[in-house]
Structure 1
């Protein structure tokens, strides 16, 4: 959301393409807030408005997502990432990531490093 140069060209291309629907999971915002509290990340105070302003959509966590995340095999132990995987599976979405554990779940991925 802040144009960080660590984001690969492929990721930037997909995010900036206005024909793509970009969803920001509540799990991602939750994780960003924790990282901000630890001093590892700066997050805008009104992230919800920024998400809207950028034309992205919020992806709330529902009970089905929660149940599915809990049922995933333990290839990945990070609960935030497991939620993203469950949401992508449930909603038929692709995940933009560089995480090497995600392919084990058979979820559709976009490589963030290319």
Structure 2
């Protein structure tokens, strides 16, 4: 399974993995098939750190790319195709970070690992510890 980490999942992976369900932590730890981190998460983390909402992540900003690589995660860069798709969503959810992550997950065939219920309004596959609906007991279609 190819996974795309939502920003809060990446943050918790780095700062307090106890916040992740054991199933999610294990999948990330094992590397699943491939784990992706979007450039959108870099933008979101830098923005929120600048605004004082994520001061614990300031040490990661200078070595963000290295921290992603050290975790054996793959970078997923934002493309014009992603931007156009995110902007075209009919979903009422206005968060630009979420819209971009949903578009990337959908277009790249990735399962978005998130706790955020807002993603059920987007046509991307998501994974979290509940509800356990698929045959694997982990994924549900949003």
> Which of the two has greater helix per residue?
2
- Equivalence map 1:54-65=2 (5 Å): 54-65=71-82
Question: Which stretches of structure 1, 4 residues or more, deviate above 6 A after TM superposition?
Answer: none
CA distance in 1, matches of 2:129, 2:28: 10
- Equivalence map 1:76-91=2 (5 Å): 76-91=93-108
Distance 1:112 1:40, change over 3 A: farther
CA distance in 2, matches of 1:32, 1:25: 11
> Tell me, what secondary structure is at the counterpart of 1:58?
strand
* Aligned twin of 2:31: 18
CA distance in 1, matches of 2:97, 2:120: 16
- Equivalence map 1:1-114=2 (5 Å): 1-4=13-16, 5-41=18-54, 42-43=56-57, 44=60, 45-111=62-128
Give the root-mean-square deviation of aligned CA atoms: 1.7
> What is the number of residues matched between the two proteins?
114
Deviation at residue 3 of structure 1 after TM alignment: 4.7
Higher RCO, 1 or 2 (CA under 8 Å, sep at least 6)? 1
The answer for unaligned runs of 5 or more in structure 1 is none
Deviation at residue 98 of structure 1 after TM alignment: 1.0
> Which of the two has greater strand per residue?
2
